[in-house]
Amino acid sequence: MRRAIGAALALVAISIFPRTSIAAEGGTGAYLLGTRGPGAGFTPPPGVYFQDDTYFYSGKLGGGRTLPTGGLLVANVSQQTWINLPTTIWVTPAKILGGDLAFSLTTPFGEPRVSANLLVNSPRFGPIGVNAVDSELALSDFFINSFVGWHSGNFHWQVGVGGVIPSGTYVPGQLSNASLNRPAIDVFTALTWLDPTLGWDLSASAGFTFNQANTATDYKSGDEFHLEWAATKYITKEFTLGLVGYYYQQLTADSGSGARLGSFEGRVVALGGSLGYTFEVGKLPISTRLKVFREFAAENRMEGTAGFLTVSLPIAMDANVRAGAVKSKF
């Protein structure tokens, strides 16, 4: 059981890296909430890993409330989004203060489908539109991440920093934009307590996002705080079941000529569940996980349901690890 859990975590751990989302001035943050979960603080052994996340979100902002997005002011907004986030992770042999140094690169693409009852000064739909719907498949912004991870007994933790690089297709006056079109830096820490004998994983992660301006709309989103947690039980060596959640709070006010609603500071809380399953194809271990969150207590942002479907596997790593014989504290 110890070795099986260790091998599974070597794969699950590559599911914890931050990702980009749609533009923060649209009422959501640069950090994709719910990204980290079980095994958030666990760093896999040195090697190269691949992970593919498919993110789904369905939410709305009703009651006639107004939301700034894409340089527009819109009301009674609903959104259904999918984003695919292929990520390559390299855990290097290098050590920093005894911890493993790692890097990752995410190149996302997706299709936000947005509908709104009101548009103001839209070059695409005219000055005012009713029941406008916009859906565009496009490249989002690249995300580069670096962190250092440590292990001590049942405790595993990381500290790291990542950055959003504007690289997607962004069109001012368009409701559907997969790109942020603004730089952002995310500084984070994560901790996992794993008892391989009991089969329990308790994980948490916290981070701060420092946003720069969207030059196309002259909108500078305020800085943000995000907190995620997960409590997961290994039912068998292959199957896990758990609870997950997140909390988001904008810390400073929005600014710039594009911030026509003033500070527009947002907040949201979410609770949900997760299912994980690890299996082998030949001798290749593959980890899968489904996470679903339901949001509530939202302020100045949409409220809805979010989900992640994750598949992760090693590309190049020690043969003993592939076979499940992780030579570590497990």
| Spatial contact of 248 and 267, defined as CB atoms under 8 Å apart | yes
Domain map (residue ranges) of the chain = 2-322
Q: Highest mean pLDDT: which of 1-10, 214-223, 232-241, 313-322?
A: 232-241
Per-residue confidence (pLDDT) for residue 134, from 0 to 100: 79
- 3-state class of 146 per DSSP? strand
- Tokens standing for 115? 């509908």
Model's pTM, two decimal places?
0.83
- pLDDT score for 72: 62
> Which range has the worst mean pLDDT, 55-59, 217-221, 242-246, 265-269?
217-221
The CATH number that domain 2-322 falls under is 2.40.128.130
What average pLDDT does the chain have? 83
Q: Contact 10/43 with Cβ under 8 angstroms?
A: no
CB within 8 Å of 306: residues ≥ 6 apart: 33, 34, 55, 56, 57, 59, 270, 272, 292, 293, 295
CA 86/CA 244 separation, integer angstroms = 22
